[in-house]
Structure 1
Amino acid sequence: MNLPIEKSLIIVGSISTRYGVKTAFDNHLAVDLLEYRLDSILLDMNVKETLEELQSTLGCRTLPALLTIRSKKEGGLLQLSDDQRIELFERLYPFVDSVDLEWQEFPKVFEVYSLYKKGGKKIILSIHSLDRFLNLETLLSSLPEIKRLEADFVKLAVRIEELSQLKTLTNLFFSYPDIPWALMGIGKYSTLSRIVLSALGSRLVYGYVDKPAALGQPSVFDLKESFLRLGIIGKER
């Protein structure tokens, strides 16, 4: 199943619990892509149960699926070794349409990137700064290598505590228009950042289906209501 890559804004519904896995397809969700946060789902289930349930659910999916296994350093909720994460990425490869890989951990997951890239799956390259605003100089020095990897989206999720920091993200977006940005804030200005950056052209916007996957993350239902009210998306969505 292909991602609706032609859409100017792709709404991602994040699933973080066993309940979410079971009910996602029973609801009429206002999303284009379902993200499975495996590092969180595994808190409710053991690996064997999780793989069996996910493979069964994803085998009859009606929406494209994104696999995310966040490391503890990048905000993951479960301590997994690099080998464990790689094995899970490989085991679920046939059942998903895209994968989220962390730029700061990229050398550890390069073989996962190669597997998904060669298989024609979509790649989201993520950069996080969870407890403070990003080091802009470090990011800019990394952009040539990030561009060389030809990810389908470059996701930047950073803590925003001041409106001036949101302005910095908008400046970054317009300064490097050749990068397929998915920009968002976490924390105090989480919802506002999603509205502003999505309106400007940021390609992905995340909301939760069952519980927030990041500090301040709004639900997909609240996102849709705000976007409809502001005219960011049309009623057909």
Structure 2
Amino acid sequence: MSTTSSVRLHTTVLGEGRTKIIVPLMPGASSEVPAALAALEGQPVDIIEWRVDHVADPELAVGVGVALRTSTSLPILLTYRTDREGGLGTLPDDGYAELVARLLRLELADAVDVEYSRSAVAVASLLDAAQAAGVPVVASFHDFHTTPAREALLGHLRAQDELGADVLKIAVTPRSSVDVAELLGASAAASAEFGKPLIAISMGGLGLVSRVAGSVFGSCATFATVGAASAPGQVPAAELAPLLGVFDAE
């Protein structure tokens, strides 16, 4: 699987070679980081998604980030999800943007996820912060209720592209196999149109094919678990890796 462009996160390149496996880590405090990282040993993990929203007190986030950064060589994708996006975060958009920008200034991430449907001011400030920090932006869109029609999905991805995101991402909820097909069709069309690394996921058990065979439709990475899942339908990394090898074209 290849795309027109690629994006480097430390030692890992999105958009080149095999599908990359991203595993969420959700430590609530710096004291939980050693055990979380120990669980990754021997696991097929390419990128850590640090879910900052699982740190209840934002003031403690810096300590957690430092513990992660100094204890692993794996690339870190910094993500803060609100309760509207399937996460635990309760910060308003301005507080969210301020926290994430602070963590980027401290060089605690190799990439940052930005939910592009947040307020335009918050999104713009985070894009500026990411550029200043020299880290790529994964723009994302989530729908935990439905799967929009293919043209609507392409519209979300097009908007992310126009914002200047380095990686485009959509994650939606299927109610039927037709919904899964819509997601996969949008992924294939977007991969051809935008020429940027893309992550397209149909969540839940019904959408498992999108996590396993996404590379066939242009998706460059998928999310898996080592321990707790952060979204519906994630499967253990050790089980997913050999399945990805069946579909990946090196």
TM-score range, shorter chain: 0.7 to 0.9
**Equivalence map 1:1-237=2 (5 Å):** 1-5=10-14, 6-18=16-28, 21-26=33-38, 27-39=41-53, 41-43=54-56, 46-93=57-104, 94-105=107-118, 107=120, 108-176=122-190, 177-179=192-194, 180-228=197-245, 230=246, 232=248
Relative to structure 1, the CA distance from residue 224 to residue 203 in structure 2 (aligned partners, 3 Å threshold; closer, same or farther) is same
Q: Secondary structure at the match of 1:96?
A: coil
Q: Which runs of 5+ in 1 are unaligned?
A: none
Unpaired runs of 5+ residues, structure 2, are: 1-9
SS in structure 1 at match of 2:118: helix
Q: Is the 8 A contact 1:21 1:54 kept in 2?
A: no
**More displaced stretch, 18-27 vs 196-205:** 18-27
Q: Deviations over 1:193-237 (max 9, x none)?
A: 211223433111111233110112112222114224x35388xxx
Return the letter of the residue paired with 1:74: E
Q: Secondary structure at the match of 1:54?
A: helix
Cα separation, 2, equivalents of 1:32 and 1:155? 17
The answer to whether the Cα contact below 8 Å between 2:172 and 2:202 also exists between their aligned partners in 1 is yes
* Cα separation, partners in 2 of 1:130 and 1:63, compared to 1, 3 Å: same
**Aligned mates of 1:207, 1:123 — CA distance in 2:** 20
Question: What letter is aligned with 1:189?
Answer: L
Kindly tell me: are residues 24 and 232 of structure 1, through their superposed partners in 2, closer, same or farther at Cα, counting changes over 3 Å?
A: farther
Hey, what's the Cα distance between the residues in 2 that align with 1:145 and 1:47? 30
Structure 1 2/109 Cα, relative in aligned 2: closer, same or farther at 3 Å? farther
Change (3 A) 1:42 1:190: farther
Q: Using structure 2 for the length normalisation, give the TM-score.
A: 0.81
3-state SS of the aligned residue for 2:112? Answer: strand
Give the structure 1 partner of residue 3 of structure 2.
none
Deviations along 1:68-88, one digit per CA (max 9) or x if unpaired, are 001222222231222321222
* Identity within the alignment, %: 25
Q: Name the count of aligned residue pairs.
A: 230
Q: CA deviation at 1:34?
A: 0.5
The two structures have a TM-score, normalised by structure 1, of 0.85
RMSD between aligned alpha carbons? 2.4
Closer, same or farther: CA 113–12 of 1 in aligned 2, 3 Å: same
Alpha-carbon contact 1:161-1:187 (below 8 Å) kept: no
Q: Compared with structure 1, are the counterparts of its residues 65 and 101 closer, same or farther at alpha carbon in structure 2 (3 Å cutoff)?
A: same
1:144 and 1:89 map into 2 onto residues whose CA distance is 24
Cα distance in 2 for partners of 1:50, 1:119 equals 18
Please say if residues 139 and 165 of structure 2, whose CA atoms lie closer than 8 Å, have aligned partners that are also in contact.
yes
Q: 2-side partners of 1:198 and 1:184: how far apart? A: 11
Rounded to whole Å, the distance in 2 between the matches of 1:75 and 1:83 is 19
